[in-house]
Amino acid sequence: MSDIIGEATLVFIGSILTILGAELKGLWTERVRKIHKAEEAYIEWLSTMDGVLAGLQTLTKHVKTEPNSVEELRKALGELEQLGRNLLSLQRAGNAVFVYERHHRSDC
């Protein structure tokens, strides 16, 4: 009789450990997914930052040389528009990293 109780207890403990293992795996998988998402946002942020810096350098060059034609002025304005788009992308990527960091700190 005690063998049956001991075996039932082991089966019960095994079931609980299986459930806990599945829960932990789910939590770990979610954490890893969030980390990958934040890494992707950070990489996008760095890439966009490169674009912003390149745009600023080009604009600086155009401003220093003062556009001599309408075409040069249009080109400079186009670069300014692209810079604006890059800054918006930079802000979105930065916000994603900030949200992850804030959430990550509250999990600890």
Percent of the chain with pLDDT over 90: 0
Asked if 62 contacts 76 with a C-beta cutoff of 8 angstroms, the reply is yes
Residue 52 to residue 3: CA distance in whole angstroms: 72
Range of the domain at 86: 2-107
Structure confidence at residue 60 (pLDDT): 73
pLDDT in tens, 72-107: 777 777 777 777 777 777 777 767 666 666 666 665
Structure confidence at residue 9 (pLDDT): 79
Distance of CA 60 to the CA centre of its chain: 30
Structure confidence at residue 25 (pLDDT): 81
The enclosing H or E element of 104 equals helix 70-107
Residue 38 to residue 98: CA distance in whole angstroms: 9
Q: Is the pLDDT of residue 18 over 80?
A: yes
Percent of the chain with pLDDT over 70: 79
How many domains would you assign to the chain? 1
Q: What is the CA radius of gyration of the chain?
A: 28
Residue 104 to residue 108: CA distance in whole angstroms: 7
Q: Mean pLDDT across the stretch 23-40?
A: 80
Structure confidence at residue 82 (pLDDT): 78
